[in-house]
Structure 1
């Protein structure tokens, strides 16, 4: 490490746009706009369709694995469409349920609060539910204070102690015993002195398996710590919502399965529409 700037990653703008499309439909307001509510409502509608579809396709021989999982490709027309819609829908139903149930975490605060109440300890839930200040709020407050005390600038500057990142790093290494794969330091906003340090273990590639510290950059004291090893099973589930949502919890096979399931979504729209049109045509006859 020599402090040399390596440059900016390529493709950041593209993937940021895709993420905004996925989460907020590129609508104004981003996470605070109407797009977040629309995607959440769509997820709830998908859950309703999954459950109702499972009830409608329940076979007479419910114990037959073949009836559940093997499409009848010998059929033609409406029969084939129904078989593909029902059987492939059964294949991907668990994946879609996981996607929607975890996706609601990012759409509705009441859903997140309920999940925390159900799975987290009270003290952990209280810490998780503390409102975060809006971006730039601390900086704006610092600017306002500076303007209000312009005549005391020299005195205040003399009394202000510089942030010591060496102290932060030394404290972090002591806490982790040098047992980490990578670390991310987030600087304090405005006039704060608390540096947020997140570290990931060498033994796991999951984003959720991490420790988090808040360290005073002036004194080097640990303000708070949140270790993954100290979490309960429910709290680990909450911490890993994103990894579960995208299938990463199962490694690359899980990611592949979730990607293929997502790619199959248009199949159900097409076969469902064909079944609807076929039913209308039969009613007219």
Structure 2
């Protein structure tokens, strides 16, 4: 068996084993790519009119959002200020265990919309994309292994695509639309697979980095030459035995005022749950709304509100900056709207490959069976 035939066997059987998962993950990924754009068009409560006044404090947003949910503590909610022209949100889990997101006017604290995310279309799409609606522990292996196989498929596909002779090169770059449907299907698999290979690899690897954080940490460590920036060696330690003076105002308000002063140019602010006093309160600020790459990170004492640690984007190492851009890279938004289009097309083509590949395999199998029929008939005479 030649090397290329062996690669072909690997490509075939791995493709048949992982095809269904790759198809589902790719289609849902394509749908999710434009989720913010679609929601901005269909959910008017996501936008507000910019006002000259400063936004209200987080404690006021929390009080308004939780007014109809007695028993849910403000310290368990997540608060996000997105941008001057966008509504703020408060996210929490209610007493029934439902994930609730409340949209509010950041300038008045008025509730604009309350959503149960469990029944939201894009939440369901995201859940299928990440977990196939399976338990997370199971999905981690089913999706992770299938996407790992898809990476191998891309690489073996490039080996099979590579033309042996110069006269074959033009054929490998173009689809012969006027040919019979089986030939068109073959070209769709090979030609589109080649064009989408680089995008598919980026999407697949960045997805694997989310499933297996140790892979991303390994890349970050390698990029930094095994020497992270000194500031990144810091860890947020909380001395629970130390006596501290309790803050005279809500912790979320202290956090908000502090990060507004320390990261004045950042549009988006995400304040995590302030907790029960046993762990630091965390906050992240982002340079641009709905983009998660360029961010500053903060940790505060849960009782006094004292700033314990800060990590600014500008001081991060190259490896950490690469790690931070993984989500925006996975969705294509690292390159703006054009990047989303590329990610969308790459996802669609990735979804088509298991289908066109299966058709090729079935056609060859059917052809092999037909070629054996005359021999069998002669043998029975």
| Pairwise same-fold verdict (TM > 0.5) | yes
**RMSD of the TM alignment (CA)?**
3.3
Spell out, residue by residue over 1:193-240, the C-alpha distance to the aligned partner (whole angstroms, 9 max, x if none): 7332211225x7621111111123654432111211112332211101
| Alpha carbons of structure 1 residues 182 and 267: separation in structure 2 relative to 1, 3 Å | closer
For 2:171 and 2:233, the matched residues in 1 are separated by 45
Moved more, 93-102 or 167-176: 167-176
Give the drift of 1:174.
3.0
Match of 1:242 among 323, 327, 339: 327
Task: Return the match for 1:73 from 166, 177, 196.
Answer: 177
Select which of 201, 205, 224 maps to 2:287: 201
Counterpart secondary structure, 2:308: strand
Q: How does 1:259-274 map to 2 (within 5 A)?
A: 259-274=344-359
1:17 maps to 124
Say yes or no: does 1:51 pair with 2:137: no
- Partner residue of 2:258? 171
Q: Which runs of 5+ in 2 are unaligned?
A: 1-54, 61-108, 372-381
Determine helix, strand or coil for the equivalent of 2:177: coil
Structure-2 change in CA distance of 1:63 and 1:233 (3 Å): farther
**Greater mean alpha carbon deviation, residues 214-223 or residues 89-98:** 214-223
Q: Provide the residue aligned with 1:180 in structure 2.
A: 266
Q: 1:84: which partner in 2?
A: 188
Query: In terms of mean alpha carbon deviation, does 275-284 or 237-246 score higher?
Result: 275-284
3-state secondary structure, aligned to 2:111? coil
SS of the aligned residue for 1:264 comes to: helix
Aligned mate of 2:218, from 111, 114, 127 = 114
What is the aligned partner in structure 1 of residue 318 from structure 2?
233
**Residue 341 (structure 2) aligns with:** 256
Preserved CA contact (<8 Å) 1:167 1:217: no
Q: 1:247/1:65 Cα in 2 relative to 1: closer, same or farther (>3 Å)?
A: farther
TM-score (norm 2): 0.59
Deviation string, structure 1 residues 67-115 (Cα, Å, up to 9, x no partner): 4432122321432222221101111111110111111112224423422
Judged with a 3 Å threshold, the aligned counterparts in structure 2 of structure 1 residues 75 and 238 are, in CA distance, closer, same or farther, namely same
Contact 1:214 1:223 in 2 (8 A): yes
Length-normalised TM-score, structure 1: 0.76
What's the CA shift string for 1:105-150, capped at 9, x where partnerless? 12224423422322346446996998xxxxxxxxxxx9xxxxxxxx
The question of whether the paired residues in 2 share the 8 Å contact of 1:185 and 1:198 is answered with yes
| Distance verdict in 2 for CA 1:192–1:263, change over 3 Å | same
Distance 1:86 1:59 in 2: 11
| 1:34 has 2:138 as partner | yes
Work out the number of aligned pairs and report it.
256
Query: Any idea what the Cα deviations from partners look like across 1:137-166, whole Å, max 9, x if unmatched?
Result: xxxxx9xxxxxxxxxxxxx9xx75555444
Q: Say which SS state the counterpart of residue 255 (structure 2) adopts.
A: helix
- C-alpha displacement at 1:64, in angstroms? 8.1
The structure showing larger relative contact order (alpha-carbon pairs under 8 Å, at least 6 residues apart) is 2
Whether contact under 8 Å (2:232, 2:316) holds in the other structure is no
Alpha-carbon distance in structure 1 between the residues aligned to 2:348 and 2:198: 15
